[in-house]
Amino acid sequence: MRRWHNPNIISFDRSVADFQAGRDTPRDFLERCLEVIARRDKTVKAFVTLNIDAARTAADAAGKRYQTGKSLSMVDGCPVAIKDIIATADMPTQMNSPAFKGWQSGQDAACVAALRKGGAVILGKTVTTEFAIGYSGPTTNPFDATRTPGGSSSGTAAAVGAGMAPVGLGTQTQASTLRPASFCGAVGFKPSLGQLHLGGVHPLSATADHLGIIGATLGDVWRVASQISLGVGSPGRRFLEGAGAHVPAPRAPRKLIRLYTRGWTEIDDHSKAQFEAAVEALAARGVQIVTRDTQPRVAALEDQLAAEVDGALDIVACELRWPFEDYIARYGKLIGERLHGLVKRAHEMTPRDYERLLDTRNALRRLWRETLDDADGYLTLASSGPAIKGLAYTGSRTFLVYGSWLGVPAFSLPLLQSDGLPFGVQLLGAPDGDGALAGVANWIERELA
C-alpha cells in the first residue's frame, strides 16, 4: 500500500497552537489561502463568489481575540468555503442554476450562522452541480485538470484539495460529500441523518439530505462539524457525539466488516490492489476483518442491499417534487434534464410505492445495525478508484449511496493512490454513533500513515 500524502493541504487544526502562541495569525493564514486561490483558481475553478474584504475583517477580529486569549470557539479565525446551495446573507446562493442567477436569501443558513457565531471566516461560495443533483459546473480536479473533482460538492472538495481552504461545507443526498473528498485527496465526513442542522440548505430529499464537511485533516472536519452541532443544534436531536475541539481519541477497532457491494465490479485492478493492501495492513495490526465469505449474515446484508438500493433514488425523486415541480412550471428548460426526469419518475409512483420504499429502508436499517453487532464499523471504498477523465460526469455513486440511503455516519479517509491520484477508504458506522466512528477513523489514519 502506497499511502497518499496531499502536498497542498493547509490545516487550520494544526495552526491553532501557533495562533495561541503568537507565532502565526488568522490574517496571515487567510492570506496564504488567498494566494493559492489567486494562483490556482483560474484552472481549478472552485469558487463562484469570494468575499475577500469581509473575510479579512473577520480574520483580523479573530487575531485580536487570540492576542487577548479570548478566542470565541474552536473555529475562531478558520476560513470556511460554503457550497453554493447553502444560504449566506452576504453573498448570492445561485445553485448552479440560470433560474437563480444572482439570487440572494438575505440570511445565513443555520450552519453558516453557527460558524459566524464562533468567529469562523466565511471565505466564499463554491461550485455545485445544479441543485446538487443536476448537470456539472466548471470545476476541475486539483491534481489533473482533465478529470472531474467529483460532485455535487465539487468546488468545496477541489478548494480543500488544492490548498485554497482548510475546510468547507458540502451536502450529500447520495454521494456528494464523500466522492469528491475521495477524488480530491481530502477528508470527508457525512454525519448521521439529521445530526447537523439543514435550515437554509436547498432541499432535495427530506429523508436523505445530509450536511457534509470536507477538510484537510480529520481535525479540521471535526472542529467545523462540532461547532455547527454545538452552535445551532438540530431539531429533535442530541448534539454530535464527542463534539469538541479535538477529534475523539484514537480507538483501535477489534473487528471491521469489509463490504464488497456491486461497486467492487467497477474498479480497476490497481485500485483493488491498493485497497486490499490497506485491509491487510489493518489485519496485521490485530483488526479482525469479517467478510461475506466468513460470516453468512454479512452476505445476507449485502444481498439485501444489492436487491433494494435502486429504491434510494426513487425516494429522492418522490421527495423532490416540492419545490421542483414549481421550478419546472415557472422556469421550464432553465431547469436541467435530470431534474425533469426525476419529477417524471415521481409521477409514475403511487403513494403506496413510496410507503413500500420507506418500509424497505427501515427494515434494512435494522439489519445494518444488527449485522454490525459487536463490530466497530464497515469498511469499503469511498469511490470507484481515482477521479475519472472528463468533467460532465462526476463519477459512480455506487460505493456511497448505501450510507446516505440508510442515514448512517461515514468518513472518507484519503489513504490510497493510483497513478499519482488519490482516492479514499470509506468507514461507516451505526446510526448516531458518529463520535465512536470518528475515534476509529482517527486510529486508522494514524496507523496507516
Q: Is 152 a catalytic residue?
A: yes
Cβ-based neighbour number of residue 170 at 10 Å: 34
- CA nearest 166: which of 243, 250, 93, 77? 77
Residue 320 · residue 205 · CB < 8 Å: yes
Q: Is 176 a catalytic residue?
A: yes
Total length of the chain: 449
Residue 91 · residue 125 · CB < 8 Å: yes
Dist. CA 135–CA 446, nearest whole Å: 37
**Measuring CA to CA, how many Å separate 101 from each of 34, 68, 368, 386, 438?**
25, 42, 42, 32, 38
**Measuring CA to CA, how many Å separate 70 from each of 17, 67, 112, 121, 245?**
14, 8, 21, 16, 15
- Which DSSP helix (H) or strand (E) runs through 58? helix 52-67
Q: Is 136 a catalytic residue?
A: no
Q: Which residue among 153, 176, 226, 229 is the active-site one?
A: 176
Q: Which residue among 15, 45, 71, 83 is the active-site one?
A: 83
Paired sense of beta strands 288-290 and 255-258, if any: parallel
CA 157 to chain centre: 8
Dist. CA 112–CA 120, nearest whole Å: 9
Question: Which residue type sits at 308?
Answer: E
**Which parts of 249-341 are beta strand (E)?**
255-258, 288-290
Q: Which residue among 97, 152, 271, 404 is the active-site one?
A: 152
What burial class does residue 32 get, using C-beta atoms within 10 Å of its C-beta: 0-12 exposed, 13-18 middle, 19+ buried?
A: middle
| Enzyme catalytic residues | 83, 152, 176
